[in-house]
Amino acid sequence: MPQLTVSDLNVRYGRVIGTHDVSFSVEAGEIFALVGSNGAGKSSAIKAILGMAPSTSGSITFEGVELRGLKTSEIVRRGIALSPEGRRVFPQLSVAENLRMGAFTRTRDEAQQRAEQIYRYFPRLKERFRQHAASLSGGEQQMLAIGRALMSRPRLFLLDEPSLGLAPIVVERIGDVLDEVRREERLTVILAEQNAHWAMHLASRAVIFELGRSVNTGPTGDLLKDPAVQSAYLGV
């Protein structure tokens, strides 16, 4: 059974359609990509999983439990975490304090041990652990946002546009870390990304979003060879 199954999901913001009958499933321990242009519905799907978007119908099951109708705090406690678009770190808090904010479900000792693991994934954060987040570069802030989300030791990790506005070398480093964490912690990762080339080379499978609909899904190796995908998203 897939770890996460989204079936016929509809998200509405008043009269505005976020998603329309979107369906996909994600296996435990894989990296899965939601690919599409800005406004295609990727973020709506991500937020609906966490109960942060107004889903009007459909089903979202995680490890056999229906998530629709649960509060976001309950969903987080079930083992799901989000690194949001735009990073949204706490600018006047230090790196260490930002990380502790992501460990509200853990004891102080557990949080400290987890922070040391995050520093191993992102040594740059260890070097700057006393600095205010506002003083970090965009890439360092993204590392901090990812590290903060990982502090809760999730089993499913959602990332919304993690490559946005970052230099290619930083994006590649983030991809390497995500794959490392996936392997070491058996973590499932869902990327919502406009950067189709990066996302589909990192993920094993993907779903293509257009105008709120899931229009194509499958192994990324197959999608990368699809002429329609190449033309629309890869510049081929």
Each residue's pLDDT expressed in tens, for the chain with a length of 236 residues? 899 999 999 999 988 999 999 999 999 999 999 999 888 999 999 999 999 998 999 999 999 999 999 999 999 999 999 998 877 898 999 999 999 988 877 778 888 999 999 999 999 999 999 999 999 999 999 999 999 999 999 999 999 999 988 899 999 999 999 999 999 999 999 999 999 999 999 999 999 999 999 999 999 999 999 998 888 887 65
State how far the Cα of 37 lies from the Cα of 56, in Å rounded to an integer. Answer: 23
Q: Residue 134 carries which DSSP code?
A: G
pLDDT at 1: 86
State how far the Cα of 49 lies from the Cα of 73, in Å rounded to an integer. Answer: 12
Specify the pTM.
0.92
Element (H, E) at 150: helix 138-150
Which amino acid makes up residue 147? G
Per-residue burial over 217-235, b if 16 or more Cβ lie within 10 Å, else e, is beebeebbeeeebeebbee
Which amino acid makes up residue 184? E
pLDDT at 95: 95
Q: Residue 41 carries which DSSP code?
A: S
pLDDT at 3: 98
Q: What is the pLDDT of residues 5-45, one digit of tens each?
A: 999 999 999 889 999 999 999 999 999 999 998 889 999 99
Domains, the chain, ranges and CATH? 1-79+189-236 (3.40.50.300)
For the chain, the average pLDDT equals: 92
Which is nearest to 32 in space by CA: 206, 168, 213, 234? 206
Question: Where do we find the tokens 């509200």?
Answer: 104
